[in-house]
Amino acid sequence: PIAQFTPDVLDGCAPLDVLFQDQTIGASTMDWDFGDGTGQLTGPGDIAHTFTNTSASTQYFDVELIAGTDFGCTDTTLHTIGVYPPVTALFTMDTAGCSPFSPIITDLSQGANNYLWDMGDGTLLVGPSPSYTYLNNTTNDQQYTVTLITTSAFGCTDTLDQPIVVHPVPVAGFQATPFTQQYPASTVSFNNLSGPGNWNYSWDLGDGTSSSAQDPADHDYGTWGTFTISLIVSGTMCSDTAMQLVEILPPPPTASFQGGGQGCAPLTVQFTNTSVQATNFQWNFGDGSTSSATDPIHTYTVPGTYTVTLTAFGLGGSANTYVQVDSVIVHPNATAYFVLQPTQVVVPSQPVFTYNLSGNATDFQWDFGDGTTS
């Protein structure tokens, strides 16, 4: 016989499929040895074989055909097949994230020295582990397919696709008004300024009150203080937060008191503080004396008319003053004094004359010592 065959390719990238076209003449048996440790005994006809290469260099396989006849005659022919090492495209990356989303891409390819990335949005990048940022300005998820095409030094290529999802991110914003007010005014209105979309809303009004409404109803805080209002706007995966402070100032104090009157020196007066919304006090008793007590007791020693002033200070530092004009009148003490003339008389006809020299007195009571009064 005459052994003849022709491979359809002589070299290529692993795994390499080769079709051997039988051109043998006069043979009844075909004994193939593919040079890779495998073989096959067939009859006449074409045969296909797949060559592999797990090394990092080109491997060559001598393919031998022994053609035989029924009479034991044989002929041999040989072709050499070159198989380049394979290239494997492989990478890992974050497959979902919120816009702007920069997935971490880690190349795990083998046998590659050229990389072409198709990021799925029309962007092409080169290099083993590129950096890229996806933007999603819509209100819906955006899905892309990231494709890596690797090429070896022998021109072998491999491709790997992976999907990636970029979630939209809401933009939270609101206005709470008024920003500042003074108690007893304590009602705040809310205007949601967040970007459009099918979002969920979570409000914290700063006093333990919450709401999931897009625009909460007006809220009465019922007291004074500084309150931090927060709004979390969220989608299926992503969220954004906005915050604002509102201040409700404490009510101004109102100063007032009861007390005063009149009497003789020394005159002790009890003052009763009836001020409201006040925390500290400053008294001026009009005689040069002061006090910071809430309900002071004060003794006047000098006769005169005194105006008492109370200044009340509130929580926010505001003040209010109450004045009682001529609140206290201190009279001088009466001084009893008189002179008799003569000091000796002849009874019953000689009279006794009294000379009243008393001071600061308007009423008098006499006792003449003999049971007679006046």
What is the model's pTM? Answer: 0.66
By the 8 A CB rule, do 341 and 355 touch?
yes
Q: Residue 126: its pLDDT value, please?
A: 97
Of the three residues 84, 101, 133, the one that is the final residue of a domain is: 84
306 shares its domain with 261:
yes
Taking alpha carbons only, the member of 328, 329, 331, 326 closest to residue 363 is: 331
145 shares its domain with 156:
yes
- CATH number for the domain spanning 55: value is 2.60.40.10
pLDDT tens, residue by residue, 68-107:
999 999 999 999 999 999 999 999 999 999 999 999 999 9
Boundaries of domain holding 99: 91-167
Q: Which two tokens stand for residue 131?
A: 């950096």
Taking alpha carbons only, the member of 241, 198, 245, 242 closest to residue 221 is: 245
325 shares its domain with 341:
no
186 shares its domain with 231:
yes
pLDDT tens, residue by residue, 192-224:
999 998 999 999 999 999 999 999 999 999 999
Q: Which two tokens stand for residue 80?
A: 């050499």
Helix (H, G, I), strand (E, B) or coil at 131: coil
> HSE of 209 in the Cβ direction (CA atoms, 13 Å)?
14
- Mean of pLDDT over the chain: 94
Average pLDDT over residues 285-291: 96
284 shares its domain with 301:
yes
pLDDT tens, residue by residue, 2-44:
999 999 999 999 999 999 999 999 999 999 999 999 999 999 9
Residue found by looking up tokens 């409000």 in the block: 203
291 shares its domain with 240:
no
14 shares its domain with 57:
yes
Q: Domain total for the chain?
A: 5
Cα separations in angstroms, 278 against 240, 313, 317, 325, 371: 42, 5, 10, 22, 61
Q: Is pLDDT of 355 > 80?
A: no
What contacts 326, CB < 8 A, 6 or more positions away? 305, 306, 307
Of the three residues 228, 249, 270, the one that is the final residue of a domain is: 249
Cα–Cα dist 285/309, whole Å = 7
Q: Residue 349: its pLDDT value, please?
A: 65
pLDDT tens, residue by residue, 302-316:
999 999 999 999 987
By the 8 A CB rule, do 360 and 335 touch?
yes
What contacts 288, CB < 8 A, 6 or more positions away? none
Residue found by looking up tokens 């209002």 in the block: 229
Average pLDDT over residues 278-282: 96
301 shares its domain with 321:
yes
245 shares its domain with 263:
no
66 shares its domain with 48:
yes
